Structure formats: structure tokens, C-alpha cells
Amino acid sequence: LEGLSEAGWIEHFARFEPLPGSFPQPLALRYHGHQFRAYNPEIGDGRGFLFAQLRDLEDDRLLDLGTKGSGTTPYSRQGDGRLTLKGGLREILATEMLEALGVYTSKTLSLVETGEALIRGDEPSPTRSSVMVRLSHSHIRIGTFQRLAAHGLLDGIRQLTEHCIAHFWPLAAEAEDPAVGLYDAVTGAVARMGAEWFAAGFVHGVLNTDNVNITGESFDYGPWRFLDRFDPAFTAAYFDQTGLYCFARQPEALNWNLARFGECLIPISSQEAIAPVFESFAERFQTDLARQTFARLGLLPGNPDEARTLMHRFWGAMQASAPPFQQVFHDLLGGGLPERLRASPIRATFETAAWAEAIEGLRELPKAPGLDAALAHPYARRPEPATMVIGEVEAIWSAIDAEDDWRPLALKLDAIREAGEFNRRLGLLAGPNGRPDHVPL
């Protein structure tokens, strides 16, 4: 791909002329799903398809090249199969910010404006159109298994289970029951994804079963938002009237989705074997949240029980004061170093009793090996961290829409990538290379 000319990029990633060795025919996948907990058997890839796979040189895993906005498929229903340019822009910003914050996510490979005028009910129309290519390690969803289970296709469930073990979770094959090994691996990965979202202040918006990847990879971005200030009840989707997928209920939603996944595997395993794995989610989430919270601060958890108590104290202080989310992690880097607190634009927040107690505990935790290198990075000396609040997203889009001015986007991406380099020094690793190996049952 590095040798492709601009014309070649347009040819292959906007018009989708086949790449050497790509699929002879693009694949639009069919699946089912619980959407806001109502079962829908009539869904699938409605505006995209898979057209090639690459070998990830970092870890020798397969990467899917999938489109978004490439037109109608057999599963488009009444949609036009297109992606607005603003929607493509939002996905770039989401994937870049999440990766910078150490969250395992799909990546945006390319975005090409296509010149069509689209009509949408949820944004000013007509609006500009685009087509995107994204990279992810899998496009297999919980909903993929649900479709097979709904049709009673036990051989299909077995084959898909074997495929997922072979390509995504090979250590699950060593479990006494490989189906349970797969369920254990996916449960652990999804729990970690939820913890990473929480520590990043990320709200996915639409956590339906068809939007959860069995790799634990964040993908299928719609009305996502990052918290400006800590707000457990914040919802990203205007149509989420009950707050089912609000920030603080995302772990509950993911656990509910995993229950549906477990139900698909019971016919080839047993409820007795699946149930204990399902029940392990809450403990795994809490452990991962402590690890990720402290990792963002350049700290190590130390004693597990004490770390759990301190983690709850930290998030309790966040809830009590509702401070700017990213600013807290920036200012408390290293566990509340006096010089950083003195320079903080929200210094008064940290002088409250709740924060004083939390900071006292943070100062007792071991320092991460990469903390000194991170503190030496220019990003650590910035008064304010990189953020991705809705006003910034709208301002970037407004410049593009009104003036075709892409400079604000470029500046924002530069800031995010600087944050990513800083977090890599700190030891926050996005992607499977930053994840512990699955331990077979």
C-alpha cells in the first residue's frame, strides 16, 4: 500500500477496484442483534463490505479492510448505503483519540469525499458524502453468532467458534471445552474494553449486540461522545431516552450482551460451564478499571485490595466534583506531584476533602516504569491536555463544511498524536499487543 499513488488510492479505496489478492467478490455480512434490547433479525452490513485482508506486521494477525459508505448491499433495507462526510470525520476523530488514550480500536485507513448530496434526518441537508475504509482485526460480532443460533444452525455455530479460536483466540483451543475457552477470552476482552472506555471518558452511544466485536475491539462508531466533565448519566445518542447506554451503564450493557453470546454457545457446550464465566465479568471489569485508571496516571495498582479501594475513592471524587475529565488525569500524572497541582487550572478542585484523601492514596502507589520518560515529554508540560469534546468536533466540521478548511482537523490530529506518543511512553498500549494473553480454563 505504501507504493500506491494518489490515483491508485482513489481507484482502490473509493472505487474499490480489486487489490492484488483481494476477495474475488466483496462480502456483506448478515447478522442479527438486540437493538436497545429488542431482537432484530433483519440487519447486516447495510452500507459497507469486506473486500480484502492484510497481515498485520506487528503481531502477524489478519486485518480486515472494510468499507463504510460504499453503497447499498442486500441488507441496506431502506437506506442509501452512503456515509456523510461529517460521519466519516467523526469516525477519524473517535479512532484517533481512543488509540491515543490506550484503547483497542479499529483504525481509519482512508476517507474520500465522493461528491454526492445526501439527505439525512439528523443533520442539516443536503450534506456532503464520503466513503471510508477502516482496518479491524475482525468483523465478527455477537450478532453473527445470534443469527446462527436463531436458525438452529449448530454446525454453523461450531464452525464459527472454531474459526474464531483459530484466528483470534488460539489459546482457547487448549481449554477442556474450547467453546468455553472462547467465551472466557471474549468475556475478558470485552470487560477490558469497557474499562478502557470508562478510564477514557468515552461513551459509545449504541451498545447493541451487533456492535460488539468478539475481539474486544471498539468499532461501529455512531453518536459517540467523550465526556467534557464527569457525568455518569451522560448519553451520547439523542434517541436513548431511558439512558440504557449512558456512560455509567456501559459495563452493564456489555455484560448483558455477553449473556446473549453465552446463550449462543450453550447448545455446543453447557449452561453449567458458561455461567461461571459470565459471572466473572464484574470482577474482571473492576480489576481492569483499576489497572487502566492508574496506568493513565503513570502508576501501578500495587496491592489488589488496596488498589480497588483507592480506585473507588478516585472515581467517587470525580463524581462529587464533576471536574473536566481529561484535565484530572493530566494534572494528577505521577499521583499528585506538588508542582503539577500548583500549576493546575483546576487547582481548587483538588483542595476538597474528597480529592485530598484520593491524592494521599495515589501518592502511596508504585510509579510506572515509563513515568519519568513521560514527564520529560513536552506534552506533560502543557497546561491543558488534548480533548475531544463536542464543541471541538462541531468547530472542525464547520470549518470544512463552510470553507473547505481542513487545517483545524490537521491541528487536532497533531495534538491527539502528541498525546498518543506521550501515553506510549507512559506505557498505555492500544491494541492486542497491549493486552495480556488469555489463560485457558
Q: Which residues are catalytic?
A: 210
Q: What is the largest CA-CA distance in the chain?
A: 64
- What single-letter amino acid sits at 161? T
Helix (H) or strand (E) holding 40: strand 38-44
Gyration radius (Cα) of the chain, Å: 22
Alpha helices by DSSP H, listed for 2-84, are 6-13
Q: How far, in Å, CA of 327 to CA of 54, rounded?
A: 38
Give 227-232 contacts, CB < 8 A, sequence gap 24+: 227/201, 227/202, 227/203, 227/325, 228/324, 228/325, 228/387, 228/389, 228/390, 229/322, 229/323, 229/324, 229/325, 230/201, 230/318, 230/319, 230/321, 230/322, 230/323, 230/325, 230/328, 231/322, 232/319
Q: How far, in Å, CA of 23 to CA of 292, rounded?
A: 38
Partners of 225 in the beta sheet? 203
Partners of 68 in the beta sheet? 132
Q: How far, in Å, CA of 188 to CA of 432, rounded?
A: 12
Q: How far, in Å, CA of 268 to CA of 263, rounded?
A: 10
Q: What is the DSSP letter of 291?
A: H
Q: How far, in Å, CA of 157 to CA of 115, rounded?
A: 42
CA distances from 94 to 34, 97, 110, 211 (A): 24, 5, 14, 15
* Grid cell in block for residue 264: 449462543
